[in-house]
A and B are shown apart, each in its own frame.
Chain A
């Protein structure tokens, strides 16, 4: 059974940093692109970052480029999202997602990040 378990969320002050982790199981992690997608409270979905299966290439929308860094440890079956210079508009549930037939064919349960003073 595919499982994606996110951790590392919480309350953080504007301008500070936070690092999310996602532990994957039930599939061969290093065969798949992985991504992070987020959803602000009561709002729609927004793609945040993607990384190739080897980790050699990463992709971001302009809204987080230069502030967020996606990375992975294929030996540990773990995906990361380092978030720096956090803003109130980064407040959201962050989902770890697997890419295969689709960029986001399987989603974790999500982890909440709240940016507030």
Chain B
């Protein structure tokens, strides 16, 4: 199975910060990577599909990049409503596999 390794596990941030989190695939997955946001008590929401495409309605402070094995989600100008756990997903290989998540917490 393709392992998706996310880092860091958690981050303590302040409103207005620029936040960068990473996801590394154990094999080449092309650009078949999504990023999801899950706030406490809610279901996940798609943010980025195809590694770098912002989903409908997602603010432009969210940017995805990468291809092959290394992927990045960047939040410029962090807002309080962005506090959540962020997951990456690869769908290049069966089974589809998620990373273990990066949790954003207030400093």
19 more CB-based (< 8 A) A-B contacts, given A45-B98, A47-B95, A50-B96: A44-B87, A44-B99, A44-B100, A45-B36, A59-B94, A61-B96, A101-B46, A102-B34, A102-B49, A102-B50, A102-B55, A102-B89, A103-B89, A103-B91, A104-B36, A106-B46, A107-B44, A109-B43, A110-B43
22 contacts between A and B (CB under 8 A): A44-B99, A44-B100, A44-B101, A45-B44, A45-B98, A61-B94, A61-B96, A62-B95, A95-B44, A101-B46, A101-B53, A102-B50, A102-B55, A103-B34, A103-B89, A103-B91, A104-B89, A105-B46, A105-B49, A106-B46, A107-B44, A108-B43
The prevalent SS among residues of B at the interface is: loop
Which residue of B is nearest A95, CB measured? B43
Which residue of A is nearest B91, CB measured? A103
Which residue of B is nearest A103, CB measured? B91
Interface size of B by Cβ–Cβ distance < 8 Å?
22
* A102 to B: closest C-beta gap in Å: 4
* A46 to B: closest C-beta gap in Å: 7
Complex interface: chain A residues within 8 A of B100 (CB): 44
A44, A101, A102, A110 — most chain B CB neighbours (10 Å)? A102
Within 8 A of A (CB), among B70-102: 87, 89, 91, 94-101
The prevalent SS among residues of A at the interface is: loop
Within 8 A of B (CB), among A45-75: 45-47, 50, 59-62
Binding site for B on A (CB under 8 A): 44-47, 50, 59-62, 95, 101-110
Contact between chains at A47 and B98 (CB < 8 Å): yes
* A4 to B: closest C-beta gap in Å: 9
Which residue of A is nearest B96, CB measured? A47
Within 8 A of A (CB), among B25-52: 34, 36, 43-46, 49-50
Contact between chains at B98 and A107 (CB < 8 Å): no
The residue that A46 contacts in the complex, of B53, B94, B98, B101, with Cβ under 8 A, is B98
CA distance A22 to B90 in the complex (A): 24
> Contacts A44-B87, A45-B87 given: A102-B46 contact, CB under 8 Å?
yes
